[in-house]
Chain A
Amino acid sequence: KQEVTQIPAALSVPEGENLVLNCSFTDSAIYNLQWFRQDPGKGLTSLLLIQSSQREQTSGRLNASLDKSSGRSTLYIAASQPGDSATYLCAVTAYFGNEKLTFGTGTRLTIIP
């Protein structure tokens, strides 16, 4: 059974710093991995999706990497801003044709102005 873990559960950093969020999964047989952002009252927003054959994806100040063999992914946020404060979730999909996501418990990020 796939288990997804995110450490730390909460993180506070001063504005402007670069930071890394970690995600690990127990079963490396995944199809893809997604990073989401969760804002209170606004549901989840998909940030980046990495296919199992890819090593990384970039969008603006965000860069997500995937090391499938070791069961790890990181989300790198450059030059953090107060608007980045949110809970970040990673989730994996088992295989093509099964879009069920298995989520981690999230990292609550606070950017201190």
Chain B
Amino acid sequence: DTAVSQTPKYLVTQMGNDKSIKCEQNLGHDTMYWYKQDSKKFLKIMFSYNNKELIINETVPNRFSPKSPDKAHLNLHINSLELGDSAVYFCASSQPGQGVETQYFGPGTRLLVL
């Protein structure tokens, strides 16, 4: 039973389009994250939500808008896609305050902007 799932797994789209990536976790965690992994395999946090509330918002273009309808879901919507948005996007979740804040990651969504 998948703990953190993301859809779609692959996304190929044209520049200028708007797209969304969905993330769901069935671990009952309060906190969810979006990370971007660039072509050099460098992972950087983008956003973090705790119980549907935004708590971390790194320097990310405002074309990226996270939405958390409930604490089990954190979706990422991207407007006006650019070539530089091509990357692998990872969703993760954790349960803070229990001593071991291990983050559980989804399988990643590979976005290619043409």
Is chain B found bound to chain A in the same assembly?
Answer: yes
Binding site for B on A (CB under 8 A): 32, 34, 36, 41-46, 49, 87, 89, 91, 93, 97-103, 105-106
Residue of B nearest to A39 (CB): B107
With A43-B4, A97-B96, A100-B56 known to touch, is A105 a contact of B42 (CB < 8 Å)?
A: yes
Tell whether B64 is near chain A: CB-to-CB under 8 Å. Answer: no
Write out, one digit per residue, whether chain B residues 16-50 have a CB within 8 A of any chain A CB (1) or not (0).
00000000000000010100000011111100100
| B94 touching A105, Cβ below 8 Å | no
Structural contact, B105 and A34, CB atoms closer than 8 A: no
Q: How far is the CA of A3 from the CA of B7 in the complex (A)?
A: 31
Contact (Cβ within 8 A) B101 A99: yes
Residue of B nearest to A89 (CB): B43
Instruction: Please give the residue numbers on chain B whose beta carbons come within 8 Å of chain A beta carbons, in ascending order.
Output: 4, 9, 31, 33, 40-45, 48, 56, 90, 92, 94, 96, 100-108
Contact assessment for B107 and A103 in the assembled complex, using a CB-CB cutoff below 8 Å: no
> Do residues B101 and A43 form an inter-chain contact, with CB atoms below 8 A?
no
The reply to whether B42 and A49 form a contact with Cβ atoms under 8 Å apart is no
Write the chain B residue with the least CB distance to A31.
Answer: B101
The answer to whether B105 touches A49 (Cβ under 8 A) is no
| Chain A residue contacts of B45, Cβ below 8 A | 100-102
Contacts of A34 in B (CB 8 A): 102-103
Q: B102 touches which one: A41, A49, A100 (CB < 8 A)?
A: A49
Is A103 in contact with B105, judged by CB distance below 8 angstroms?
no
Residue of A nearest to B42 (CB): A105
